[in-house]
C-alpha cells in the first residue's frame, strides 16, 4: 500500500545541503569543525539557557545527564510509565532503578500528584518527559524537587519550542536533553543536546562525552565515553535552527486545523493547558476504545494515511514489570486509545481536512 501521508518527514529546505557540502569540501566531517560550536551556542541562545553540549543522540544525552548528576546503583529515579522507552532505559544504564508514575488525563503528561507517593529515601532524581510536545506541570515539579532535594532532568526530545508560563521547556531543571532524530521537530539525522545553566555541570558533561580527557593531550583521568556529534550533523542542525520558527509555526498551524476539524466529534485532540504553548511534535488523538484504534489504523492505511499507536507504558514491558509497580490506569487508557497522525509542517490545510474526513468516515461506517 502506497503511503501518501507519512506520520513524519523532515523539512530540509534551507541551508542543510550547503552546510553539509561545506563540511565535505573542507574535509571537516568528524566531531571537530566549526558547526559544532556554532550549533551549541545558537541552541543555548534559542532556549535562553546557559550552556549546551551536543551528543550523538537523545538517548545518549539522557545517559550523560544521569552520569553527570552522579545517579548510580541504589538510587531511584521517578519517571512516567507513559513515555518513550529511552527515558526509562537511561536510568538502567547507570544501574539505578526507574520508579513509575501515572499520567494525567488533562495533559497526557506525568501525574505530579503521584510523585509524592513514590518518593523514598533512595529517590535521587525525576525525569520529566514532555510527551508529544505538551509541557509537564513544571511549577509543581520544580517545587516537589526543591522540597525533597531531588534532581530534575527535563526530557525535551519531543518538545523543542514548547513553553510553560512563556519560558522554554529545558530551562526549568538541573539539566535538559533534546533529540534530533529524523522525525523530530528539528533534526540532524541522529543527534542530541544536553543543556544546563550550570558551568561545572556542562564542563563535566564535555569531559565525560570526550573519553574523560584531562587538560593534557591523551591523558585520561577517568573512564569516559565517545558520545560526540559529528560536524556534518551539527551543520544540518545549524541550518535547521535558522528555520525553527517557521517549522514550529507550520506545526502549530496544522494542529489548529486538526483541532477545529475534530471539534464536537467525540475524538480528543492533543491538549494545550492555558499556561502552555504546545509545539505539537505529534498531532495526536484519543479514540473511544482500544479496539477502534487498531481498526481505524487499518482503515486509514487503505487511503495511504500512515499513523502510529501511542507508546506502550514502560511498566508493561518485561524488563520493567513488577507486581508492586503495576497500577497506572490513566497511562494504560491513553496508551491503548491514542494515535499519532501525519504531523509534518509541510502538510497543507486541505490535506489535514482530508485525513480528518477519513477518520470521521470510519466512525460513521461503524456506528
Query: What are the residues binding ligand PLP (CB under 6 A)?
Result: 57-59, 83-84, 86-87, 129, 155, 157-158, 179, 181, 192
Give the separation between CA 293 and CA 82, rounded to whole angstroms: 17
Nearest-approach distance from CB 70 to ligand PLP, in angstroms:
21
- What is the number of the residue whose Cβ is closest to ligand PLP? 58
CB 119 within 8 A of CB 129: no
Give the separation between CA 142 and CA 31, rounded to whole angstroms: 35
Nearest-approach distance from CB 63 to ligand PLP, in angstroms:
10
Nearest-approach distance from CB 158 to ligand PLP, in angstroms:
5
Nearest-approach distance from CB 61 to ligand PLP, in angstroms:
7
Q: Which is nearer to ligand PLP, 64 or 115 (CB)?
A: 64
CB 170 within 8 A of CB 156: yes
CB 76 within 8 A of CB 123: yes
Write the CB contacts of 111 (distance below 8 Å, at least 6 apart in sequence): 80, 101, 102, 103, 104, 330
Q: Which is nearer to ligand PLP, 84 or 312 (CB)?
A: 84
Q: Which is nearer to ligand PLP, 171 or 185 (CB)?
A: 185
Nearest-approach distance from CB 56 to ligand PLP, in angstroms:
8
CB 95 within 8 A of CB 126: no
Give the separation between CA 125 and CA 127, rounded to whole angstroms: 7
Cell output for 294: 487498531
Nearest-approach distance from CB 69 to ligand PLP, in angstroms:
16
Q: Which is nearer to ligand PLP, 31 or 179 (CB)?
A: 179
Q: Which is nearer to ligand PLP, 86 or 331 (CB)?
A: 86
Closest listed residue to residue 314, CA positions, set 31, 87, 16: 87
Give the separation between CA 177 and CA 195, rounded to whole angstroms: 6
Nearest-approach distance from CB 345 to ligand PLP, in angstroms:
18
Write the CB contacts of 15 (distance below 8 Å, at least 6 apart in sequence): 238, 239, 242
Q: Which is nearer to ligand PLP, 188 or 231 (CB)?
A: 188
Q: Which is nearer to ligand PLP, 16 or 155 (CB)?
A: 155
Q: Which is nearer to ligand PLP, 109 or 272 (CB)?
A: 109
Residue 310: φ, ψ to 5°: -65, 165
Nearest-approach distance from CB 105 to ligand PLP, in angstroms:
20
Closest listed residue to residue 89, CA positions, set 68, 61, 112: 61
360 to 103, 283, 303: CA distances (angstroms): 27, 16, 13
Nearest-approach distance from CB 137 to ligand PLP, in angstroms:
16
* The dihedral formed by the CA atoms of 247, 80, 90 and 286, expressed in degrees to the nearest 10: -40
Closest listed residue to residue 298, CA positions, set 362, 345, 220, 342: 362
Q: Which is nearer to ligand PLP, 94 or 267 (CB)?
A: 94
Amino acid at each position: 500500500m502506497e503511503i501518501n501521508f507519512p506520520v513524519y518527514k523532515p523539512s530540509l529546505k534551507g541551508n542543510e545541503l550547503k552546510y553539509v557540502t561545506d563540511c565535505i569540501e573542507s574535509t571537516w566531517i568528524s566531531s571537530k569543525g566549526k558547526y559544532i560550536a556554532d550549533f551549541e551556542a545558537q541552541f543555548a541562545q534559542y532556549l535562553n539557557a546557559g550552556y549546551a553540549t551536543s551528543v550523538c543522540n537523545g538517548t545518549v544525552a539522557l545517559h550523560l545527564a544521569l552520569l553527570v548528576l552522579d545517579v548510580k546503583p541504589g538510587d531511584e529515579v521517578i519517571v512516567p510509565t507513559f513515555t518513550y522507552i529511552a527515558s526509562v532505559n537511561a536510568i538502567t544504564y547507570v544501574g539505578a532503578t526507574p520508579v513509575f508514575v501515572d499520567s494525567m488525563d488533562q495533559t497526557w503528561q506525568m501525574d505530579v500528584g503521584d510523585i509524592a507517593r513514590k518518593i523514598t529515601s533512595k529517590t535521587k532524581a525525576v525525569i520529566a518527559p514532555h510527551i508529544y510536545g505538551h509541557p509537564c506541570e513544571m511549577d509543581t515539579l520544580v517545587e516537589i524537587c526543591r522540597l525533597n532535594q531531588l534532581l530534575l532532568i527535563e526530557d525535551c526530545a519531543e518538545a523543542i519550542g514548547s513553553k510553560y508560563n512563556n519560558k522554554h521547556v529545558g530551562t526549568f531543571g538541573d539539566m535538559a536533553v533534546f533529540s534530533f532524530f529524523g522525525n523530530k521537530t528539528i533534526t540532524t539525522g541522529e543527534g542530541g543536546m544536553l543543556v544546563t545553566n550550570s558551568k561545572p555541570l556542562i564542563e563535566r558533561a564535555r569531559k565525560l562525552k570526550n573519553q574523560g580527557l584531562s587538560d593534557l593531550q591523551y591523558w585520561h583521568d577517568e573512564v569516559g565515553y565517545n558520545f560526540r556529534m559529528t560536524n556534518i550533523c551539527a551543520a544540518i542542525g545549524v541550518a535547521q535552527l535558522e528555520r525553527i520558527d517557521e517549522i514550529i509555526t507550520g506545526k502549530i498551524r496544522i494542529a489548529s486545523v486538526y483541532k477545529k476539524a475534530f471539534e464536537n466529534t467525540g475524538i480528543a485532540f492533543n491538549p494545550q493547558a492555558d499556561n502552555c504553548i504546545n509545539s505539537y511534535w505529534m498531532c495526536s488523538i484519543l479514540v473511544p476504545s482500544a479496539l477502534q484504534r487498531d481498526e481505524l489504523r487499518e482503515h486509514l492505511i487503505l487511503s495511504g494515511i500512515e499513523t502510529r499507536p501511542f507508546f506502550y507504558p514502560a511498566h508493561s514491558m518485561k524488563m520493567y514489570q513488577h507486581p508492586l509497580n503495576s497500577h497506572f490506569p490513566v497511562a494504560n487508557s491513553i496508551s491503548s486509545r491514542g494515535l499519532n497522525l501525519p504531523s509534518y509542517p509541510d502538510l497543507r490545510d486541505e490535506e489535514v481536512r482530508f485525513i480528518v474526513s477519513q477518520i470521521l468516515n470510519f466512525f460513521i461506517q461503524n456506528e
